[in-house]
Structure 1
Amino acid sequence: MTTLSQLSKDLIGVLLLMLFGYCFFFVDINTNDLAIPASLLNVNSIFLSIVLEAIPFILLGVFASALIQVFVSEEFIQRLIPKNPYIALLPAVLVSALLPVCECAIIPVIRRLLKKGMPLHIGIVILVGAPILNPVVFAATFYAFQSNTFIVYSRMGLAVVACLLIGLSVYFFFKNSNQLRHVHVHEHEEANVGNKLKQTLYHAGD
């Protein structure tokens, strides 16, 4: 029953996507005849631009998540993370500053790392830190305020402090509880997916 319900939802989603694609490419709407308000058209343009801009980054995060699932073991992650939960915040901030990803791409990556055994507060630090500390953001901020580097380094410093405070708060309230324990994710049988490339594509599809 659950499988049938899931298939119905998937089918509806695919049909809606096909309808949207058909309207987007083939339907020519005469806005003068329909008298569509300019504000509504503006909202539509902004919505489409955000979707089209975000999709490549979301796909990047999805495939990075799939690669982590296939090639990174739980034991490897446990070896990398310091045992002390407070000291572990520092390398988490460093990782955030090195990942050139935005808030779209980092979500599936962190979700997969949490399922692999990364402590919740470490994952949250990387989740909130990567979009505001990554090299692209630093370079853009430096270019915008190159005449006043105090603003550049103050901004990055405040971002680091904010990440640490958020990580400490999450650890204080949740400790290392697995917040994904109630999320159902369909996992493919390893015996049925063949080599590593096929496994990566299957997990990216999930």
Structure 2
Amino acid sequence: MVLPALLLELSAPALSIPARLVTAWAVFQGLLLEALPFLLLGVSIAALARWLAPGGQWLQRLPRHPLLGPLTGAALGFALPACECGNVPVARRLLAGGAPLGTALGFLFAAPVLNPIVLASTWAAFPNQPWLLAARPLGALAVALVLASLLRLLPEAELLVPEVLAERRLSQPLSAVGLLERRSGLVGLPAAPAGLAPPAPAATGGSAARPPLAEVLEHGGREFLDLAALLVLGCAIAALVQTLLPRSWLLAVGRAPTLSILSLMALAVVVSVCSSVDAFLALGFAAQVTPGALLAFLVLGPVVDLKLVGLFGVLLRPRAIALTVAGASLAVLLIGQWVNLLRL
């Protein structure tokens, strides 16, 4: 597990270069082994949804209200026990299937905290701090609402990567998206990946034909390999950064109201630990930092970390990723400051 290695690194003295490389390799393996099962779970859920509901009509019935949509997406996290890595392929399926933008974004950003495994692990790590058990899901929900509202200001063409945008427009009814935007019908279908037939236009009535199971498995396998390659790169960067950066620098200002929040936000981005176990990591330094900093660590990590930035690249354009990082950081900083005002 990566957790013991991280806790050891928090208190370890300066290491030699060979020892740091060994530590980086151990942390990399821990991060990867921790995240891969959830990534596989997310891809499996997305593939199952594509096979059981190929037309995605149920996705288009989800709420489009600016507030109710993200709340509905966040609520879906209670039924899907996946961390932030596993949520990316599911969110991609929601977007490609024509789900309302706010609903899909609410799921992407809030579900990593609002799922049974993460809530149970938070309770197990901090059973004597009931305020934290309520503040973490509420903080995650607030950040998701902020990000969904912020990203909705961008046109879909500037928000989503071309592959997701093309598949999403094929899923939209003609009353919402014209032929030119759908790039189907008279204008022609979008180019299909090598080895696959071009996607069929969305049906204007009735239910779409269920794709063959072999095709769904092939599509899911290819998606898993693509995401796993990005995950490997992100875990490698996270392992190198957190091994080379002395953790004591970030914890040295643990009792300063504002600097403690900023330092724990940076730590959350660097360690990139899965949301299902990050509460146990936070338990190791909870007594050294302010309450707002502790909450900031637990809320920001599942939304923005080094391994997630690469995964977001299969959904969002670089400008949208930059807005996500900036918006989440500002929202978490304000939440942490507010908590410190109340509890210090």
TM-score (norm 2): 0.44
Letter in 2 for 1:203: H
How has the CA–CA distance of structure 1 residues 185 and 118 changed in structure 2, closer, same or farther, with 3 Å as cutoff? farther
Q: CA deviation at 1:161?
A: 1.2
Q: CA deviation at 1:58?
A: 1.5
Within 2, Cα distance between the matches of 1:61 and 1:83? 24
Match of 1:124 among 105, 129, 135: 105
Q: Which has the higher helix share?
A: 1
Q: Deviations over 1:112-139 (max 9, x none)?
A: 2211112333222211111122111111
Letter in 1 for 2:196: H
1:157 aligns with 2:173: no
Within 2, Cα distance between the matches of 1:172 and 1:45? 42
Q: Deviations over 1:161-204 (max 9, x none)?
A: 111111111112346977133567627339xxx97432331221
Do the aligned partners of 1:68 and 1:113 also contact (CA within 8 Å) in 2?
no
**What SS does the aligned partner of 1:124 have?**
helix
Letter in 2 for 1:116: G
Do the aligned partners of 2:60 and 2:100 also contact (CA within 8 Å) in 1?
no
Match of 1:202 among 218, 223, 232: 218
Do the aligned partners of 1:119 and 1:176 also contact (CA within 8 Å) in 2?
no
Q: CA deviation at 1:101?
A: 0.6
How has the CA–CA distance of structure 1 residues 151 and 117 changed in structure 2, closer, same or farther, with 3 Å as cutoff? same
Q: Percent identity?
A: 32
Q: Deviations over 1:34-58 (max 9, x none)?
A: x971111111111122222222222
2:125 counterpart residue number: 144
TM-score (norm 1): 0.70
**Which residues in structure 2 correspond to 1:52-91 (within 5 Å)?**
52-72=33-53, 73-79=55-61, 81-91=62-72
Is there any run of 5+ residues in structure 1 with no aligned partner, and where?
1-34
1:180 counterpart residue number: 161
1:19 counterpart residue number: none
Do the aligned partners of 1:62 and 1:108 also contact (CA within 8 Å) in 2?
yes
Do the aligned partners of 2:71 and 2:103 also contact (CA within 8 Å) in 1?
no
Within 2, Cα distance between the matches of 1:157 and 1:140? 16
Number of corresponding residues: 169
Do the aligned partners of 1:121 and 1:175 also contact (CA within 8 Å) in 2?
no
1:166 aligns with 2:147: yes
Within 1, Cα distance between the matches of 2:158 and 2:56? 16
Do the aligned partners of 2:84 and 2:112 also contact (CA within 8 Å) in 1?
yes
Is there any run of 5+ residues in structure 2 with no aligned partner, and where?
1-15, 165-190, 199-209, 223-344
